[in-house]
Amino acid sequence: MASGLELVRAAKRLAAQGLMPGTTGNLSIRTHVGMLVTPSGMNWDLLEPQDLIEMGLDGERRRGQRTPTTEWRLHGGLYAARPELEAIVHTHSRFATVISCLRESIPAVHYMIALTGRPKIPCARYETYGTQELATATVESLGAGKATLLANHGQVAASFSLEDAVKVAIEVENLAFTWWHARSAGAPVILDDAEISRVQKQFESYGQNRRR
């Protein structure tokens, strides 16, 4: 289970890489109480562990804490629906947001899409930010995968660890960048589901951490 300090470091890393411009985006980790979430509208450069908010999945929290991200319902809904999830990252990263404004999925234009657990990254229907309707749409679109776009909004990455959720969020942005430019240049060749399954098998023996 990740710590508050690790959550702060993850937020600052994503902001430094341009995935969370301004005060946009939010992150969370699961806790014994429910979840630890980032605050609403706070400059990422100034974020410290004491600024994080611990709350129940239903929004219950003790007094004296900062105001939580407006998307706490999205985080709580995903944790409730997927008991194996330990961390969630939501960003307004540039190219993922561009594709979300087209309300399109990102297909298997590159084999790294296998990191998201499926051969495509779907796009959830549009709902107003911060609402229960958006939370429900996100849960439905994410399904059993690790990533989804949110129409006219951005992206969500969720995983069994904070490190992996961050990795998936970064890869979603890379894939959106690749898809946008490949499509602009011509007609991209899309990898089939069987190839993505083979890549997922290959990933089982890739790198120093075998868990995927």
- Token digits of residue 56: 């129940």
Q: Which of 195, 184, 185 is nearest to 108 (CA)?
A: 195
Helix H or strand E segment including 96: helix 94-101
Q: Evaluate the CA torsion angle 42, 48, 51, 54 in order and state its sign.
A: positive
Element (H, E) at 175: helix 162-185
Within a 13 Å sphere around the CA of 111, how many CA atoms are in the beta-carbon half?
A: 10
Is residue 139 within a helix (H) or strand (E), and if so which, with residue range? helix 132-142
> What φ, ψ does residue 158 adopt, rounded to 5°?
-140, 145
Reading the block at residue 15, the tokens are 């902001």
Are 84 and 161 in contact by the 8 Å Cβ rule? The answer is no
Active-site residue numbers? 71
Question: Which residue in the block uniquely carries the two structure tokens 């630890």?
Answer: 36
Encode burial over 175-192: b for 16+ CB neighbours within 10 A, e otherwise: bbbbbbeeeeeeebeebe
